[in-house]
A and B are shown apart, each in its own frame.
Chain A
Amino acid sequence: ETGVTQTPRHLVMGMTNKKSLKCEQHLGHNAMYWYKQSAKKPLELMFVYSLEERVENNSVPSRFSPECPNSSHLFLHLHTLQPEDSALYLCASSQAEETIERNPETQYFGPGTRLLVL
Chain B
Amino acid sequence: GQNIDQPTEMTATEGAIVQINCTYQTSGFNGLFWYQQHAGEAPTFLSYNVLDGLEEKGRFSSFLSRSKGYSYLLLKELQMKDSASYLCAVLDSNYQLIWGAGTKLIIKP
Binding site for B on A (CB under 8 A): 4, 40-43, 45, 56, 90, 102, 104-112, 114
Contact = CB atoms under 8 A, between A and B. Distances in A.
B97 A40 contact: no
B97 A45 contact: yes
Interface of B: 4, 8, 30-31, 33, 35, 40-45, 48, 50, 87, 89, 91, 95-102
Nearest to A3: B42
A90 to B, nearest CB: 7
8 smallest CB-CB distances across A and B, nearest first, come from: A109-B42, A42-B99, A43-B99, A109-B43, A111-B42, A42-B101, A104-B31, A106-B45
A106 B8 contact: no
Contacts of A43: 43, 87, 89, 99
Contacts of A42: 4, 98-102
B95 A110 contact: no
